Amino acid sequence: VTRGGVVLRPYQEECIQAVSDSFNNKQSCLVVMATGLGKTVIASEVIRRRGGRSLWVAHRSELIEQAESTISKLVGVTPQVEMAERKAFEFFGTNGCVVGSVQTLNAMRNGKKRMNKFEPKFFNTLVTDEAHHAVAKSWKSIADYFTTNNDLKHLGITATPDRSDELALGQIYQDCAFRYDIEDGVKDAWLVPIHVN
């Protein structure tokens, strides 16, 4: 059981352990999990267990808001948001989370990208939501900047990378730590079977 009364499902616990194991000897790993199986919950729990400061990156405001809400409930810290006119403080205790949009972090301000206000060593965990986008230039620039901190661990989460994505994602993520597809979710009764009329 995590904070907020959420009970982790067995595959979620298995996934969190797989990420932890991967981080023992790799800087980055990917989790591929079908929609509706709790990727945000899993990544939030990874953040909680790792402690320290984390940066969560997404590209749509609804994903930013979903992460903000889930992290608040499960991690017990209210994330600061770096998106459009919302600005995170550069300084906050030893635990905390910034949820930022890819577009905002790459936006130029006074000749520097907004992400540059944070030193790479400021964070110990980077979470990339919708990680199948990670090879795109704007996403890659964020990962490249923060992973210059060798102590930072980078978790990517995505529902369905296609095969060409998966090959390319090997440039960003050293390991696919865990995969749980629609078929697995249906077989284990976490998802209802798909019916096509």
**Percent of the chain clearing pLDDT 70 (strictly above):** 93
Q: Is the pLDDT of residue 66 over 90?
A: yes
Q: Coil, helix or strand for 166? A: helix
Residue 164: the pLDDT is 60
Angle between helices 39-50 and 10-23 (to 10 degrees): 50
Mean pLDDT of the region 85-100 = 83
Which residues of the chain form beta strands (DSSP E)? 28-33, 53-58, 80-82, 96-101, 108-109, 112-113, 125-129, 153-158, 176-180
Residue 94 pLDDT greater than 80, yes or no: no
Q: What is the pLDDT of residue 3?
A: 64
The DSSP letter of residue 147 is T
pLDDT band at 165 (very low <50, low <70, confident <90, very high): low
For residues 183-189, average pLDDT = 92
Residue 163 has pLDDT above 60, yes or no: no
Strands 96-101 and 80-82: parallel
Q: What per-residue confidence (pLDDT) applies to 91?
A: 65
pTM: 0.93
Reported as a pLDDT band with limits 50, 70 and 90, residue 48 is very high
pLDDT tens by residue, 1-40: 656 678 999 999 999 999 999 999 999 999 999 999 999 9
Confidence bin at 95 (pLDDT 50/70/90): confident
* Residue 177, pLDDT score: 96
- Which pLDDT band, with edges at 50, 70 and 90, does 161 fall under? confident
Tokens linked to 65:
């808001």
For residue 124, the SS3 value is coil
Q: In the predicted model, what is the mean pLDDT of residues 140-146?
A: 97
Mean pLDDT of 77-99: 86
